[in-house]
């Protein structure tokens, strides 16, 4: 309630997924008269229809701000509402996706997810509470944590990175990987849940500050065009995408390896995924081998910054390795 008052607003529309409605109700109880109502219809990829429905609900209920409690899908809905209506949002993240620290939004219209950056969508306040992430199912905790590590890892070789984002990225990978190892053993360890949120904050801040490269492009393509699960795609792809860039990003590889306590960044990441029990092949998460060619074409179709130039042949080979779950390798 204090944060709502600090923002100078009075009535919050509370956003959540249908699965997290109980959490939204708890927020509504805590807010009392400052709750305008609950909109528990957030879903993956923020369909424009849902965003408009939420915006209209906010208007009808007289809300002057939104509180988004949940993972990246709910934070994303809050961002879409902010973009459509200008309402300030408070984010209460319950996964490690890190969206709460970025001004990046994504909205799906007619089957196409458009993404952009706009300062209006950045949540005004973020509340991290480890208790709320305790209920995050263990497998989702692991893949969500690797999703966060992916932001920091690619941030380390971003063309617009700087010494501060490099420090934050290395510390984010260290904190997150260590917390995930502990949580695999004990999902209810509150200190480890807190460390994971600290890592998510660092990794999300890096994502918000610099440009992403091949890994995020591949994940966007595989998630958006082939409807594969967001966090699991990140978990599978990261070692392979980093291997593609490794020779042209030695400083980044050094930092990633150091943060993981591994001699080699890409092997270290794949070993981490194995320890955490996350999927290690695209085959496992429902990708069709016949779609690999199209995925490679989409991934190299538009130019974007990446340490190594994007070429169809090596990207196609990388995708094959990821499909099979092979050891990551520098594609010729």
Assess 78 for contact with ligand NAD (CB under 6 A).
no
Contacts of 296 (CB under 8 A, 6+ apart): 312, 315, 316, 319
CA separation for the pair 61, 306 (Å, rounded) = 45
How many Å separate Cα 40 from the centre of its chain? Answer: 20
The stretch near ligand NAD (CB under 6 A) out of 4-12, 96-104, 160-168, 180-188 is 96-104
CB of 261 to ligand NAD, least distance (A): 25
* Residue number with CB closer to ligand NAD (94 or 266): 94
How many Å separate Cα 257 from the centre of its chain? Answer: 21
Please give the DSSP secondary-structure letter assigned to residue 64: S
Assess 50 for contact with ligand NAD (CB under 6 A).
no
CA separation for the pair 154, 206 (Å, rounded) = 9
* Residue number with CB closer to ligand NAD (76 or 268): 76
Q: Residues 143, 234: contact at Cβ < 8 Å?
A: yes
Size of the site for ligand NAD (CB under 6 A): 30
Assess 71 for contact with ligand NAD (CB under 6 A).
yes
Contacts with ligand NAD, 146-165, as mask; x by CB under 6 A: -x------------------
Assess 267 for contact with ligand NAD (CB under 6 A).
no
Residues forming a β-bridge with 271: none
Q: What are phi and psi of 90, to 5 degrees?
A: -110, 130
Assess 135 for contact with ligand NAD (CB under 6 A).
yes
Assess 231 for contact with ligand NAD (CB under 6 A).
yes
Q: Residue from 35, 102, 245, 278 that binds ligand NAD (CB under 6 A)?
A: 102
The stretch near ligand NAD (CB under 6 A) out of 48-56, 57-65, 133-141, 172-180 is 133-141
Closest CA to 147 of 86, 214, 216: 216
Assess 44 for contact with ligand NAD (CB under 6 A).
yes
Please give the DSSP secondary-structure letter assigned to residue 20: T
- Max Cα–Cα distance, the chain, nearest Å: 62
CB of 220 to ligand NAD, least distance (A): 8
Q: Residue from 230, 240, 255, 308 that binds ligand NAD (CB under 6 A)?
A: 230
How many Å separate Cα 295 from the centre of its chain? Answer: 20
Site residues (CB under 6 A) for ligand NAD?
17, 19-20, 44-45, 70-74, 76, 94-95, 97-99, 102, 104-106, 132-133, 135-136, 140, 144, 147, 207, 230-231
């Amino acid at each position: 309630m204090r944060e709502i008052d600090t923002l100078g607003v009075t009535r919050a529309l509370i956003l959540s997924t249908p699965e997290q409605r109980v959490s939204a109700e708890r927020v509504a109880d805590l807010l009392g008269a400052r709750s305008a109502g609950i909109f528990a219809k957030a879903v993956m990829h923020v369909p424009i229809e849902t965003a408009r429905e939420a915006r209209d609900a906010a208007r009808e209920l007289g809300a002057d701000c939104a509180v988004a409690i949940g993972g990246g899908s709910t934070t994303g809905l809050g961002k879409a509402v902010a973009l459509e209506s200008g309402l300030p949002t408070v984010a209460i993240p319950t996964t490690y996706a890190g969206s709460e620290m970025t001004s990046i939004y994504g909205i799906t219209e007619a089957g196409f997810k458009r993404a952009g950056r706009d300062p209006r969508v950045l949540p005004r306040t973020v509340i991290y509470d480890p208790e709320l992430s305790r209920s995050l199912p263990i497998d989702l905790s692991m893949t969500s944590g690797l999703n966060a590590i992916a932001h920091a890892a690619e941030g380390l070789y971003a063309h617009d990175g700087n010494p501060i984002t490099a420090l934050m990225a290395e510390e984010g990978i260290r904190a997150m990987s260590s917390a995930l190892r502990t949580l695999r053993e004990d999902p209810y360890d509150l200190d480890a849940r807190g460390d994971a949120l600290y890592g998510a904050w660092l990794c999300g801040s890096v994502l918000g500050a610099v440009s992403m490269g091949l890994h995020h492009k591949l994940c966007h393509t595989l998630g958006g065009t082939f409807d594969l699960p967001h966090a699991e795609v990140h978990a599978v792809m990261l070692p392979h995408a980093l291997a593609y860039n490794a020779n042209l990003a030695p400083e980044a590889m050094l930092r990633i390896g150091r943060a993981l306590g591994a001699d080699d960044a890409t092997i270290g990441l794949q070993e981490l995924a194995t320890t955490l029990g996350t999927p290690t092949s695209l085959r496992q998460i429902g990708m069709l081998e016949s779609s690999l060619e199209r995925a490679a074409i989409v991934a190299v179709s538009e130019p974007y910054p990446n340490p190594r130039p994007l070429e169809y042949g090596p990207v196609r080979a990388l995708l094959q390795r990821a499909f099979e779950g092979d050891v990551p390798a520098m594609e010729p």
